[in-house]
Amino acid sequence: MSYDLDSAVKKVPNFPKEGILFYDITGILMNPEAFSYVIEKMVELYKDKNFSSVACVESRGFIFGAPLAKELGLPIVLVRKAGKLPGDLYNRSYKLEYGEAVIEVQKSDINKGDKVLLVDDLLATGGTLQAAAHMFHEAGADVTDIFSVIGLPFLNFKEKFKGIEVTTLIDYHNEKIN
Ligand SMILES: O=P(O)(O)OC[C@H]1O[C@H](OP(=O)(O)OP(=O)(O)O)[C@H](O)[C@@H]1O
Ligand SMILES: Nc1ncnc2[nH]cnc12
């Protein structure tokens, strides 16, 4: 199956802040063919990689990580914004393209030696997934792969993930607003 993903990604200038071109995945979600294409691609990429779990980042990462984990029969680890998860947690603060935040994961969801796939909808600076990967490494797990539907390579996310295989389905290159 192939699909012109670009046609399903809405580009919204100056959101959520002046100067940011926001790549809105709701167009993918509203189009079952586009969404199926993304999940099928993910299954094709990862079905033989023997991950211990699929970890996905709140909130848009959940939408793509959960159906993949179901298809592969793998546990889903939720990486959430601060204050949402109960229990013993790892946490990490990070900067993203338009702000700062803290993410957390439950210690009981990570085992030493786990082989983990991290999933999100969009990689911009890579700050979010770098913070997520850091928590897994702290727990003795190995993040071998990162998947994101969209990549913004001009923000240099690849530099942050040496030794990790990073896959994006569509990249956008420093487009000018307006
Ligand atoms: O590569 P980075 O510079 O870290 O930026 C990418 C992150 O930013 C967005 O999430 P956001 O924090 O806006 O949360 P949301 O998914 O809840 O909308 C996006 O879903 C990624 O998680
Ligand atoms: N430009 C952008 N569009 C959509 N989500 C984002 N997350 C960080 N930067 C983003």
Q: What confidence category does residue 34 fall into, taking pLDDT thresholds of 50, 70 and 90? A: very high
CA of 117 to the centre of ligand 1 (A): 17
Is residue 123 within 8 A of residue 151, CB to CB? The reply is yes
Looking at residue 99, its pLDDT comes to 79
Q: Measured between alpha carbons, how far is 43 from 28 in angstroms, rounded to an integer?
A: 17
Does the predicted interface ipTM exceed a cut of 0.85?
A: yes
Backbone angles phi, psi at 71, to 5 degrees: -60, -35
97 is catalytic: yes
Mutate to test the pocket of ligand 2, among 152, 154, 168 (most ligand atoms within 8 A of CB): 152
Looking at residue 176, its pLDDT comes to 65
Instruction: Give the percent of the chain with pLDDT over 70.
Output: 97
Q: Measured between alpha carbons, how far is 15 from 23 in angstroms, rounded to an integer?
A: 9
Of 3.40.50.2020, 3.40.50.1220, 3.40.190.10, 3.40.50.300, the CATH number of 49-171 is: 3.40.50.2020
Looking at residue 126, its pLDDT comes to 95
Task: Give the model confidence (pLDDT) of 119-151 as tens digits.
Answer: 999 999 999 999 999 999 999 999 999 999 999
124 CB within 6 A, ligand 1: yes
Looking at residue 174, its pLDDT comes to 74
Instruction: Name all residues whose Cβ lies below 6 A of ligand 2.
Output: 20-23, 96-97, 122, 124
The DSSP code sequence of 16-54 is SSTT-EEEETHHHHT-HHHHHHHHHHHHHHHTTS--SEE
80 is catalytic: no
Task: Give the model confidence (pLDDT) of 59-114 as tens digits.
Answer: 999 999 999 999 999 999 999 999 999 999 999 999 877 779 999 999 999 999 99
80 CB within 6 A, ligand 1: no
Looking at residue 96, its pLDDT comes to 78
Average pLDDT value for the chain: 96
Kindly state the average pLDDT of the residues 32-56.
Answer: 98
CA 72, 153, 17, 38 dihedral sign is negative
Domain ranges of the chain: 49-171
Residue 175, pLDDT above cutoff 70: no
For residue 20, count CB atoms less than 10 angstroms from its CB and return exposed for 0-12, middle for 13-18, buried for 19 or more: middle
